[in-house]
């Protein structure tokens, strides 16, 4: 079963509120979980994202696409990275989330539904 694990937070706030030791441990964790998810064959894809302040939102206004600059929400509601994992169960996906949330404000888990049956 495929899931998207989305991590929320603000890197620039982290720099101001955490100790260098905490940041070093966080980096070690992020590298380690990458290695483990790849080794177990559960990693499909992952990316870290630029800060939410770099985001643009595009809406249709009077039929024309209009792009607006961020920020749009509280930093802790802004996505900062994501993983797509292919795991045996939701329980396992939640286990991974439980590790990540130690280092993140909020983690969201979302199933990636299987496609329609192949003809």
Partner 1 sequence: MSSDRAVVDLLRELAPQVVGMLARRHGQWDLAEDAVQEALLAASAQWADAGIPDNPRAWLLAVASRRFIDAVRSDSARRERENTVAALETRGEVSDHDDSLTLLYLCCHPALSQPSQLALTLRAVGGLTTAEIAKAFLVPESTMAQRISRAKQQIRAAGLAFEPPPPAERAERLAVVLQVLYLIFNEGYTPGSRTSASGADLTDEAIRMTRMLRAGLPSNGEVAGLLALMLLTDARRPARELADGMLVPLADQDRSRWVAPLIAEGVELLDATLGACPVGPYQLQAAIAALHDEAATADATDWPQILALYTVLEQVAPGPVVTLNRAVAVAMVDGPRAGLALLGTIAAEPGIAHTHRYDVVRGHLLELAGEPAAAAEAYRAAMRGTASVAERRHLALKVARIAGS
Identify which range of 21-29, 85-93, 100-108, 111-119 contacts partner 1 by CB under 8 A.
21-29
Contact with partner 1 (CB under 8 A): which of 36, 41, 54, 57? Answer: 54
The answer to whether residue 40 forms part of the interface with partner 1 (CB under 8 A) is: no
- Smallest CA-to-CA distance from 1 within 102, 84, 106 is with 84
Closer of 14 and 79 to partner 1 (Cβ): 14
* Tokens read off for 70: 């961020």
Identify which range of 51-59, 82-90, 99-107, 109-117 contacts partner 1 by CB under 8 A.
51-59
The answer to whether residue 35 forms part of the interface with partner 1 (CB under 8 A) is: no
83 touches 43 (CB < 8 A): yes
CB atoms inside a 10 Å sphere around CB 108: 12
Distance (Å, whole) CA 7 – CA 16: 19
The answer to whether residue 68 forms part of the interface with partner 1 (CB under 8 A) is: no
């Amino acid at each position: 079963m495929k899931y998207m694990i989305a991590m929320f937070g603000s890197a620039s706030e982290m720099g101001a509120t955490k100790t260098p030791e905490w940041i070093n441990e966080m980096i070690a964790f992020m590298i380690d979980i990458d290695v483990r998810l790849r080794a177990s064959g559960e990693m499909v894809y992952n990316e870290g994202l630029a800060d939410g302040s770099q985001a643009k939102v595009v809406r249709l206004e009077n039929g024309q696409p209009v792009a607006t600059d961020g920020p749009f929400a509280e930093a802790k509601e802004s996505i900062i990275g994501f993983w797509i994992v292919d795991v045996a169960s939701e329980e396992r996906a939640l286990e991974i989330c439980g590790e990540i949330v130690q280092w993140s404000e909020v983690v969201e888990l979302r199933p990636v539904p299987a496609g329609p049956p192949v003809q």
